[in-house]
Amino acid sequence: MPGFSGTDDLINEITTNGKKFRSQINKVTGITTAYTAGRAYDLSILPGSPDRMGPGEHLINSFAPVSLFNWTPNGTGWAATANTFAKTSGTATTLTADSLNIGIVAGRFYRVQYTISAWTSSNVNFTLGGATGTVRAAIGTFVEVITASSTAGFVLQASVSTGVFSVSNISVVEWGSSSGTITPMFQPFTTANSPALFHGGSVSTDLKSLLNMGLMTTAATGIGQFYLVDLLGSYPYIDANSALAQTCSNTNTLTRYTTGAGVRAFMASGGTGYVISNAAPTTVGAVAHNVAMTYTNSGGTGSRQMPVTVACTSSAIQGHITHSGVAASNYFPLPLANNDAGIRSIQSIQLSAATGTAGTYYHMYLYKELAMLPLPAANIYYERDFVNMMPSLEQIVDGAVLGLIYVAGSTTAASTTFIGHIESAWG
């Protein structure tokens, strides 16, 4: 009983000391595309509660802004309109991110991606970490890598205050080298940089445990298997149109489960980046491909490889775990070499073939499974009690970024709603 000396102590901590928290879950699948039976999906990309999160939001969460919250213009002319930062003629030129989820470190590299969805006039660029991005003056999605020379934050800027254009899908992630598209950097997820399901905050030196959880779906096709996981981090923007070995940088390392024991990996489709929930999703190319990786196991042994061929399936659904499903050589999670107990870090990821569509990406996640809950029928609230049912009182580590992975039991209709909760306690 981690954190509790016994049943009486648990009761005392919960009822007398109030050391507990209850959080709600409400996720809705996209409105245009159904999920495929047998495949697994990362629901953290979906809108709802908690809000969507993704590996492209490590530093800035503004892919589809609804307000200028956390952004400051230096005058008039900037507004959040139709899920974009819309610039109209006014007195302002710059729009500054008031804070970043992760601080910029001088000497490190940062991959910046943004979309100019409408453009009439003015040059458009950005500054970050003392570097200035390339000037743009056209509609398009732009990617570049800068080398920071200071800790300065992100500023989007127009060359003239009368400029008219719209920008969205701003994504800044740390990168492994000063240029190129195939050197992702591991980025740890924490509650400080990711909009995850709140579970009561940091409680050290107490230990927090999962008391119970419940889930239901309102759609008859929403049945399946759910995993509650701690999303530990990701290697974002794996180039889906490259068959080269993509070298993963590990300047950043696991901040939880640091040995890698029990840590597993999955690779999810990210399409071209982010889209608002009621827009058409994007897909990686359709060329058939497998995925291979080398990793360091939880014992610290490097150059480990998966023991079997793992096939991917192209999908237009962001969050689709591409190697899951019932087709030949589909596996979820990514299988480990014989006798390995977990992943400490990934050294390289390689697709067997370029998928055929430039500018599309996968994201590789590391995660720790905490609990599992089957959902065998619609409209019935299924619950797990982690005190009286095994496994008991799974620990939730400080900073844990909780997410849900859904293995579809049938063809899951678009706009399917999942509702649930977790309760945690600590002592």
Partner 1 sequence: MSFISLSDYSNKVVIGGQTHSSTFRKTTTVVTTAGVWFDGSNMSGHPVTNFYASTPLKAEYLLAREGIQHGSNVSSDQKHLKRVTAMCSVAPVNLLFIDSLLYYPFIDGDSTDEQVFDNTNSLTRETTGVGVNAYVVAQGTYIGGAEFFITYTNQAGVSGRTSKLCRSNLATTAGTIISSGASSGAMSNAWFIPLADGDTGIRSVQSFTFLSANGGIFALVLCKDLGNLSIREANVPAEKDFLIDTGLNMPIIPDGAYLSFLVLPNASIASAPIYGNIQTTWG
Q: Of 30 and 163, which CB lies nearer to partner 1 in the complex structure? A: 30
**CA-based nearest residue to 178, from 114, 234, 111:** 111
Contacts of 373 (CB under 8 A, 6+ apart): 213, 214, 215, 225, 226, 228, 382, 384
Q: Of 304 and 384, which CB lies nearer to partner 1 in the complex structure? A: 384
**From the CB of 68, what's the least distance to partner 1, in Å?**
9
Whole-Å CA distances, 148 to 29, 173, 177, 243, 375 = 38, 12, 12, 29, 47
**From the CB of 73, what's the least distance to partner 1, in Å?**
16
CA distance 164 to 148: 28
Residue 189 in tokens: 């997820």
The one-character DSSP state at 320 is E
**From the CB of 391, what's the least distance to partner 1, in Å?**
13
**From the CB of 43, what's the least distance to partner 1, in Å?**
12
**From the CB of 266, what's the least distance to partner 1, in Å?**
23
Q: Of 270 and 427, which CB lies nearer to partner 1 in the complex structure? A: 427
**From the CB of 24, what's the least distance to partner 1, in Å?**
6
Asked whether the beta carbons of 39 and 324 are under 8 A apart, the reply is yes
- Type of residue found at 257: Y
Total number of residues shown for the chain: 427
CA distance 236 to 46: 17
Q: Of 142 and 198, which CB lies nearer to partner 1 in the complex structure? A: 198
Q: Of 66 and 160, which CB lies nearer to partner 1 in the complex structure? A: 66
**From the CB of 371, what's the least distance to partner 1, in Å?**
12
**CA-based nearest residue to 346, from 248, 262, 234:** 248
Pairing, β 343-351 against β 289-297: antiparallel
Contacts of 276 (CB under 8 A, 6+ apart): 64, 83
**From the CB of 130, what's the least distance to partner 1, in Å?**
27
Q: Of 325 and 409, which CB lies nearer to partner 1 in the complex structure? A: 409
Element counts in the chain: helices (H) and strands (E)? 1, 28
**From the CB of 34, what's the least distance to partner 1, in Å?**
13
Asked whether the beta carbons of 208 and 200 are under 8 A apart, the reply is yes
The one-character DSSP state at 36 is P
Residue keyed to tokens 């008219």: 164
CA distance 367 to 34: 25
Given the rule CB under 8 A, which residues bind partner 1?
7-8, 10-12, 14-16, 18, 20-22, 24, 26, 28-31, 46-51, 61, 66-67, 69, 191, 195, 198, 201, 211-212, 214, 216, 218-219, 277-278, 378-383, 385-388, 393, 415-417, 419, 421, 423, 425
